[in-house]
Amino acid sequence: MSAGLVAQYAVIALLVAASLLYTARKLAPKTATRAQAALAAALLRPQRGALAQRLGRFVQPKGATGDCGDGCGTCGTCGPSPTSDEASGAQPVTFHPRRK
C-alpha cells in the first residue's frame, strides 16, 4: 500500500470520526456529555502523566453555572413563562379555505 493511499484513508477516517462526534452531540447531548466527563475523569487520575492530565482538563465539559445565561434549561425558569394552553400541550386548530 502506498503512502498516499494510507494518508487518504487517514483523512477519511478523521472526517468520519468528526462527523460521528458532531452527530452524537446534536442527537444525544446528555449522553455525549456523560461520555466526555467519563473520559476526562479517566485522564485526570493522579497516577496519569502531566500530558494526560492537561488533555483531561481540556476535554472536561463545562459545568452549568446556575444563571440564566448559560443556557442549560434544567430549571425551566429561563425565557418567557408558558401560557395555560402551552403548558397543557393544547394547540389551536386553524381552518383554511379550499383552493379552486
- What is the 8-class DSSP label of residue 77? -
- What is the 8-class DSSP label of residue 28? -
pLDDT digits (tens, 9 = 90+) for 28-53: 999 999 999 999 999 999 999 999 99
For residue 12, what pLDDT band results from cuts at 50, 70 and 90?
very high
* CA dihedral (75, 79, 85, 89) positive or negative: negative
pLDDT digits (tens, 9 = 90+) for 61-91: 887 555 665 555 556 666 555 555 556 677 7
- What is the 8-class DSSP label of residue 75? S
pLDDT of residue 100: 79
pTM: 0.54
Q: Given a cut of 60, is residue 14 above it in pLDDT?
A: yes
